Every structure is written in C-alpha cells, then in structure tokens.
Amino acid sequence: MFVVYSSIYKCVAAGQLSSTNGTKIDDDFEGYPIDMFCVPKHYYNYVENILIPRGVIADRTERLAKDIWDALGDGRPIVVLCVLKGGYQFCSDLMDYIKAFNRHASKSVPMRVDFIRLKSYENDRSTGEIKVIGGDNLQSLEDKNILIVEDIIDTGNTMMKLLKIVSDHNPKSVKVCSLLVKRTSRSNNYKPDYFGFEVPDKFLVGYALDYNEYYRDLEHICVINEEGKKAFAV
C-alpha cells in the first residue's frame, strides 16, 4: 500500500497537491504494474500501466466533494450537469460524497441531475468536430446554479463549446468540475473550477473513460498500449 500511495505523498511534500488545483502527475511517472491490481482478463494485454488506482481516485473525489459543498452548500439548489458517457462514474461517486455531507451537516443543498452527451473522438484522435448527440431539455437550466461534471479536459475545446451551450440557457451561475486535466501543447489553456488530477499527454482509459466504447469497465485509470488501440479500433 505504501508503494501505491508514495507518489501522492511526494506531491504533497513538493507542494503539488492542493484542494482545487489538482494533483500533478509528472510526465516521467511510470504508473503501477497491472499485476498489482485486479484488471479484467480481456484487457490484461492491452494496458501499459495503471496511472491512478481506484482508491486514489476515491480519496481525491471525496476532497473535491468537500470543496464543492463548502463553496456551494448554502441552501441554493444546484443542478449537476453530467457529461456522458465518460463522466458518469465520476459524477456518481462525487454526488455520493456530496450527499453524505448533506446528510451529516447543519446546512444542506438541494440537488438534481441532468445529462448531456458530447462526442469529439474516434479511435485515439479528436475529429475536430464536437457533436451534441444527446441530452435532456436544457431550458430547465435557466436561472439555476449549474455544476458541470466532466471526466477529462483535453484541449479544452469541448468544454468551451459546452459552456457556450449552457450559457445560451441563461443559468444563474456555472462551475465546472473535471476529474482530469490533460497537460498538452494542444490545450487552449482552459482550466475548470475544480479538478482532481493534472495528467500527462497520454490516452487514458478506465473508470468510465473509453476507447471506442471499450475500457469503461476498468476500475482504475490506465494508459492504453498500442496493442489495445489496434484491438479495439473502428
């Protein structure tokens, strides 16, 4: 267990860990061997390493939930807008923690959940076109406090598109929480209000992040290898 969490301890010691700015995972971090954890056999040969174990994700998500609840838990209703499909697991776990704070505190905040689905990737590359291919009636966002929950911010272009769509429906306020922010030269420098981890420019799968709809059933966030890309290409 010490080996698994040692990189997180190093981030704390180096001042790289903060509640809202995320935990920085360095480019040269090699991750953890897959034989240290339970990985489905059908992915065993298609994962390079485990970048973020499930337990670390859970601990970081709990802290993000606390930060969000402290900032927004003033009795004003919140609409949580979950970006599907990749954000569903993170959103579910984040809300479980926020609901726990709601149950055990003197103040609480009403919440409800809406969903939107966007698509910008085919295989491991962005198509350059962002499609809204599903979602509820966003007219209900008018004059509401919105918390957008996303799995990963890559270039930032998808989130900027979504923020424009949401703003067109006249919300009262909008905050964004992403589990991951990718460190890439393609970024437009957008950073969400809350995020869990700043990660290297690698294609990540697991914990509901997919590669052509595969790998969502992995518990951990992993780096896909070249064999995996070929095996599940479209």
Q: How far apart are CA 70 and CA 132, in angstroms?
A: 32
pLDDT digits (tens, 9 = 90+) for 216-232: 999 999 999 999 999 99
CATH of 16-31+38-231, one of 3.90.220.20, 1.10.1740.10, 3.40.50.2020, 3.30.70.100: 3.40.50.2020
Active site residue 154: yes
Residue 198 binned pLDDT confidence (cut-offs 50, 70, 90): very high
Share of the chain above pLDDT 90, in %: 57
Domain segments of the chain: what residues? 16-31+38-231
SS3 95: helix
Is 10 a residue whose pLDDT tops 50?
no
**CA 64 to CA 178: how far, in whole Å?**
10
Residue 6 is predicted with a pLDDT of 47
Whole-number mean pLDDT of the chain?
A: 85
Binning the chain into helix, strand and coil, the percentages to the nearest 5 are 35, 30, 35
Transcribe 2-52 into DSSP letters. Answer: HHHHHHHHHHHHTT---TTT-EEPPTT---B-GGGS---GGGGGGEEEEEE
Q: Per mean pLDDT, which range of 15-19, 26-30, 105-109, 182-186 is the poorest?
A: 15-19
Within 10 angstroms of residue 1's Cβ, the number of other Cβ atoms is 6
Confidence band, pLDDT 50/70/90 cuts, at residue 118: confident
59, 124, 136, 154: the catalytic one is: 154
